Structure 1
Amino acid sequence: MNSLASFLIFCTLLGTEALSLLRHQGLKEPEGHIDRKYLPAPKWFEQKLDHFNPADTRTWKQKYYVNSTFYKPGGPVFLQIGGEGPASPKWMVQGEWIEFAKRYNAYCIQIEHRFYGDSHPTKNVSVENLRYLTSEQALRDLANFRVKMSSLLKMNKAKWVSFGGSYSGALSAWFRAKYPHLVHAAVASSAPLFAKVNFYEYLEVVAASLNSINPQCDERISLASQKFKAMLAKKSDRQLLKKMFKLCADIDMSKNDDVSNLLESLAGNFEGIVQYNKDNRHFEGGSQITIDLLCKLMTGGKNTSENALENYAKVNSLLLLDANQTCLDFSYKSVIKELQDVSWKAAVGGRQWIYQTCNEFGWYQTSDSPKQPFGSGFGLKFSAKICSDVFGVFNLKDLEANVNETNTNYGARNLKATRIVFPNGSIDPWHAVGLTKDLNQDAPAIFIQGTAHCANMYPPSKKDPPQLTKARQKIGDLLEKWLAQDA
C-alpha cells in the first residue's frame, strides 16, 4: 500500500482503508465473525442520475439492505445512511441502532451512498461523471428512496429515523434539516458539520488525546520529529532513516512532495489509532493497538532525541506489521497515479472521497498549528494540492469558495432543526468540526469523554466505559421521547 497515510479516515459504514493526505473519517465495518447465511442479501433501487435536471432521464441502481426481523405494525423505519465506502450487511444484525430497533420494533434499512461500494451511477469515475457526486444529490437520493419505499412497503404513516456516523452522520443531520416532512428524527454520530479547508485542529486534538494518556508522549514525539527533520539534511543520516523506518526507497530531498508525504505518514501512524481508539470495531478479533500502547512505546527508555527517534521507528514498524506491509512507500507520484485511474476496479473510494473534499468540504489535516508535536512539514499548500494533481481543476481559491458554499447551504454548526442528537467523543479529532454543545433544547449534543470516532455506533462491550453506556442510554431515551411525538 502506498503512503499518503491520511488521505482517508472518516466514519463510513463502511470503510475504505487508505493512504495519507486527508485522514478520512469513515465508520469502519465491525469485524465480527458472522456466518454470512445470517446476513441479508442486497436489494436494488432505481435512482435518477441527476435529481436537479428534469430533462435528464438517466437512471442507475442503488444498493440497499433490509432487516424486518424486529418490525411490528406501527413501528418506525430506521434508515442507516451510507457514507464514503461500501455498505456492509454486518450492520444489519449488530450495532447500537439494532439494539434500538429491537426496543422500538423498527424496520431496518441501510442504503449505500452513490459512487461508493457497488452503487455505480456512471460507467467510470472521470471528472465529468463525478459532478454527480455531491451531498445534495445524495440527500435527494435519500428523499426519493424514502418516499417510494414508504409506498412500496405500505408504511406511509410510519415515522422514519435516520442514522449515520461521520460524513454519513452529517448527512443524517442534513436529511432531517432539509426534509423534516420525511424524517421524523435523526442520530448524527461524530458528524463534521463545519466544512473547513485548513483543518489544523485535527492534529491539535490528536496531541491533546495523546497528552491525556501520558504528557511525556507528546514531548517524545516532538523530540523524534525534530531529530528526524535534522537528519534529513545529511545523506548518510537519510540512509540510516531509511533502515530505521523501513522505507521502500531512498529519501530524495529534491522531491519535496515525497518528503512532506513521509513526514505526514509518520504522523498518520498516531492519527488513525487516536481516531479509532478502543472503538470496539474489532470486538471479535483484529488489531488491538491503542493510544496506550503507542505512548508506552514512545516513552520507554531515556528522554533523549536519539531514543525518541528509535521509539518513533518502533511505532512505525508496529503499524507496518499491523497493516501487513514490509516497507513504507511514501512516493507521492505513485499515489497520485493510482488516484487518477478512473476505472471502477481501481476506485475503492479514495478518488471519490477526495473529489468530495475538493468540491465541498476541505478538511485537510495539516501541520500548520504549533500546538502539535509532529513538526511543520505538511502544511496546507502540500495537503490541498492533491485536488489539482488528481483532478486538474482546483486551486485554493476554488476550495475556499466551495467550502463556503457548503456552510452557507447547510448552516454549519447553526443549522435549523429539531429532533437530532449529536454524539461526539472527546478523543476523536473530528469533534473539532462537530457539535459539542446543544444546538437547541430539542437537538442536544452528547460529548462523551474518553471515546473515539463513532464509538457509540458499535456493538456494546463489557469493556465500554460507563460514560459511553450512559450516552447510548440517553440516545435511546431521546428516540423514545421523539417517537411518541407527532410529526
Structure 2
Amino acid sequence: MAAPMVGRVLVFLVLVFQVYCWIPRFINGRPRGGMLGAPNVPKGTPTPPPQWFEMQRLDHFDGTNNKHWRQRYFVNDTFYQPGGPIFLMIGGEGPANPIWMVEGAWIVYAKQFGAIAVMLEHRYYGESHPVPDLSVENLRFLSSRQALADLAEFIDYFRVKRKLPTNKLISFGGSYPGSLSAWFRSKYPQYVDGAIATSAPIYAQVDFPEYLEVVTDALRTTGTQCGDAIRNATDTMASWLGSADTRATLEQKFQLCDKIDPTNTLDIAGLFGNTAGNFEDVIQYNKDNRAFEGAIGTDITLDTLCGIMNDFTRGTPLQRYADVNTLIMKTYGQKCLDYTYTKMISDMRQTDWKSGAGEGGRQWMYQTCAEFGWYQSSDFSKQPFSFLFPLNYSLVQCQDIYNKSLDASTVYENVRDTNRYYGGRGIAITKVVFPNGSIDPWHAMGVTQNISSEATAIYIEGTAHCANMYPARDQDPQQLTDARTKISSLIGSWLQTKS
C-alpha cells in the first residue's frame, strides 16, 4: 500500500503547485500541457512504453559541438504491413503523450495504410531535456530549426533500427507541430513524402490582434447579446478601477489573490487578459473531442459561457462575467485569481525542469520571443474585452523574463527572420494539406486557400483547433467528416506517387 499512497501524495503536491503557481493557465494561445493538452491515459487503455534515441545532437549547426542527449519517442507497429509507410507524429510545446499512439484520426489512417506509427517528442518539452536546466544560456538551443534537424537525425536512426530504408514517410502535426510538419516537408523534402499540417500557423507575426477578431466572430454565432454583455462588463470593470470601494468589489467578485493597484498598468493588463482568456481558451477548443484524453473542461463550450452572459437572472453583465470566471476557476481548481505581473515574471524566470515554468510555459514564451511573436493583444478595435492588454504587455515580458537584449526591435527582427527562412505566406511547398477550423483563432495565421494543386487547404466551418485530429464521433459536422476522408485520399495519392 505504501507505493500507491506515495504516488497519490505526489500527484496532490503537483496539483497544488500548479494551482498556486502564477503562470497563466492560458498564455499566448497555449494551455498548460501544450496546444493539444497533456491528457491522462484513460484507465485500462494500454499504450506503448517510451523509447529513447540516445545520440541526438545538441546543436545541428555547429560542427565543433559534439554534445548529444536522449530524446524520447513512442512506437506503435501493431498495424504495420511489410513495405508500408512510416507515419511520423511531430511533438510540440508539451509532453508527447502515448495515448496518441492508440487514438486519433492518424491511427485510423495507420490501420488503413499498414503504417508503422512513431511520435518524437520536441526538444525541451516533456522528458526530452537536452540541457541541465532552462537558463537563458541553455535556451539558445531551443528553436524550430533545431527541432526540424532533430527529426531528420532521428529518421536516419529509426530507418536503420527498424530496417525501413526506403519506406515512404508521412508527417503529422497539429498547431505548432502542424507548422513543423509543413516546414519539414519544405526544408527536408527528401525525408517527407507528404505532410498533414493541421491548424498550423505558418506566418509569424508579432502583434496578433486577429486572434481576438476570430474570437469576436465566434461570439456573434450565438447572437449579438453575448459580445455586448462582455463589453458592458469590461467597461464597468475599467470604470471601477478609479474608486477604492468599487476596486474592493471587483476583488471580491473575481476572487483576486491580491488587491488591485490601479496605477500598475501591467497588473491591470494581467487582470483583463486573464479574464478574456476564459473565453479564448474555450473558443479555441470549442466542442472538440478531447474527452478521450481525459482533458479537463471539455464540457464547457462557447454556448455555456454565452448562456451565462445572456442570463439576466444572474444580475448585471459584470456579475455574469464574474460568474464565468468563477466557473472556470472551479473547473481548474483555482482558489483565487492571480494576475500580478511581478509574480508571473518571478515564476517564469524559474529554470529548474521541475518548476512550474519548466512544464513548458517558459520554453514556449521563449520561442515566441526568439521566433514567432503571435501575441494575442487587445489591439483589435471591435473586440469586447477592453483595450487594456496591448502588445507592449507581451513584448516587455521578453526582456523581463529572459534578457534585456530581447527588446521589441529584436523580437520584430526575429519574426522577420522566421518568415524569411520558412517563406511565411509565400511558402513554396508541395504534397501538404492544411486543415483549419473556422472557429479556431489560429487559422488567421494559417493557410485557408489552396496554394497550388499540390498544397491543399481544407477550411472546416464550425470547428475549432485541431478538430480533424481527434477521434470521429456521430455528432461531427459533415464538413469535418469530409475533411478526414479527403486527408485519407491525399495520403493515398502521396504513397502511390513514385519518389
TM-score where L is the length of structure 2: 0.92
> Is residue 2:451 matched to residue 1:439?
yes
Three-state SS of the structure 2 residue aligned to 1:197 is strand
Output one character per residue of 1:184-213: Cα deviation in whole Å (capped at 9) or x when no partner. Answer: 000000000000000011011000011112
Distance (whole Å) between structure 2 residues aligned to residue 90 and residue 32 of structure 1: 6
User: Residue 6 of structure 1 is aligned with which of 26, 30, 37?
Assistant: 26
Contact 2:25 2:32 in 1 (8 A): no
> Is residue 2:39 matched to residue 1:16?
no
Deviation at 1:417, TM superposition (A): 1.2
Three-state SS of the structure 2 residue aligned to 1:385 is helix
> Is residue 2:332 matched to residue 1:323?
yes
Output one character per residue of 1:221-273: Cα deviation in whole Å (capped at 9) or x when no partner. Answer: 11111111111111100001111111112111132211110010110010000
Deviation at 1:345, TM superposition (A): 1.1
Deviation at 1:298, TM superposition (A): 0.4
Three-state SS of the structure 1 residue aligned to 2:359 is coil
Contact 2:181 2:196 in 1 (8 A): yes
Output one character per residue of 1:121-143: Cα deviation in whole Å (capped at 9) or x when no partner. Answer: 01111111110001110000001
> Is residue 2:222 matched to residue 1:206?
no
Deviation at 1:6, TM superposition (A): 3.4
Aligned residue identity for 2:128: S
Aligned residue identity for 1:41: P
* 1:468–1:299 distance in 2 versus 1, CA, 3 Å: same
Distance (whole Å) between structure 1 residues aligned to residue 86 and residue 39 of structure 2: 22
Distance (whole Å) between structure 2 residues aligned to residue 277 and residue 444 of structure 1: 24
Deviation at 1:283, TM superposition (A): 4.0
Aligned residue identity for 1:452: A
Distance (whole Å) between structure 2 residues aligned to residue 442 and residue 294 of structure 1: 40
Deviation at 1:29, TM superposition (A): 4.3
Deviation at 1:482, TM superposition (A): 1.2
Three-state SS of the structure 2 residue aligned to 1:370 is coil
Output one character per residue of 1:351-387: Cα deviation in whole Å (capped at 9) or x when no partner. Answer: 1111100000000000011121111000011121110
Distance (whole Å) between structure 2 residues aligned to residue 63 and residue 115 of structure 1: 11
Three-state SS of the structure 2 residue aligned to 1:423 is strand
Partner of 1:388: 399
Deviation at 1:284, TM superposition (A): 7.2
> Is residue 2:134 matched to residue 1:131?
no
Write out aligned runs for 1:245-260 (5 A).
Answer: 245-260=254-269
User: Residue 379 of structure 1 is aligned with which of 366, 390, 403?
Assistant: 390
* 1:117–1:440 distance in 2 versus 1, CA, 3 Å: same
Aligned residue identity for 2:473: S
Write out aligned runs for 1:228-377 (5 A).
Answer: 228-283=237-292, 286-287=296-297, 288-301=299-312, 307-346=316-355, 347-377=358-388
Aligned residue identity for 1:254: T
Partner of 1:163: 172
> Is residue 2:391 matched to residue 1:407?
no
Partner of 1:486: 498
Aligned residue identity for 1:33: P
Q: Which runs of 5+ in 2 are unaligned?
A: 1-18
Contact 2:24 2:274 in 1 (8 A): yes
Contact 2:23 2:347 in 1 (8 A): no
Aligned residues: 473
Distance (whole Å) between structure 1 residues aligned to residue 240 and residue 263 of structure 2: 15
Partner of 1:93: 102
Write out aligned runs for 1:81-120 (5 A).
Answer: 81-120=90-129
Distance (whole Å) between structure 2 residues aligned to residue 245 and residue 111 of structure 1: 41
Deviation at 1:16, TM superposition (A): 2.8
User: Residue 73 of structure 2 is aligned with which of 64, 79, 101?
Assistant: 64
Contact 2:29 2:376 in 1 (8 A): no
Contact 1:197 1:362 in 2 (8 A): yes
Deviation at 1:302, TM superposition (A): 7.5
Deviation at 1:35, TM superposition (A): 2.2
Contact 2:84 2:167 in 1 (8 A): yes
Aligned residue identity for 1:297: I
Distance (whole Å) between structure 2 residues aligned to residue 249 and residue 477 of structure 1: 55
Distance (whole Å) between structure 2 residues aligned to residue 186 and residue 222 of structure 1: 41
> Is residue 2:182 matched to residue 1:173?
yes
Distance (whole Å) between structure 2 residues aligned to residue 443 and residue 31 of structure 1: 34
Distance (whole Å) between structure 2 residues aligned to residue 385 and residue 211 of structure 1: 32
Distance (whole Å) between structure 1 residues aligned to residue 293 and residue 58 of structure 2: 39
Contact 2:99 2:293 in 1 (8 A): no
Judge which range, 459-468 or 89-98, deviates more: 459-468
Write out aligned runs for 1:422-433 (5 A).
Answer: 422-433=434-445
Distance (whole Å) between structure 2 residues aligned to residue 111 and residue 324 of structure 1: 31
Output one character per residue of 1:120-178: Cα deviation in whole Å (capped at 9) or x when no partner. Answer: 00111111111000111000000111122112211111000000000000000000011
TM-score where L is the length of structure 1: 0.95
Deviation at 1:395, TM superposition (A): 0.8
* 1:474–1:175 distance in 2 versus 1, CA, 3 Å: same
* 1:248–1:115 distance in 2 versus 1, CA, 3 Å: same
Partner of 2:16: none
CA RMSD of aligned residues (A): 1.5
Distance (whole Å) between structure 2 residues aligned to residue 32 and residue 54 of structure 1: 40
Distance (whole Å) between structure 2 residues aligned to residue 48 and residue 283 of structure 1: 35
Output one character per residue of 1:51-79: Cα deviation in whole Å (capped at 9) or x when no partner. Answer: 11111100000000000000000110000
* 1:117–1:451 distance in 2 versus 1, CA, 3 Å: same
Contact 1:258 1:332 in 2 (8 A): yes
Contact 2:26 2:32 in 1 (8 A): no
Aligned residue identity for 1:390: I
Partner of 1:22: none
Aligned residue identity for 1:437: Q
Contact 1:4 1:264 in 2 (8 A): no
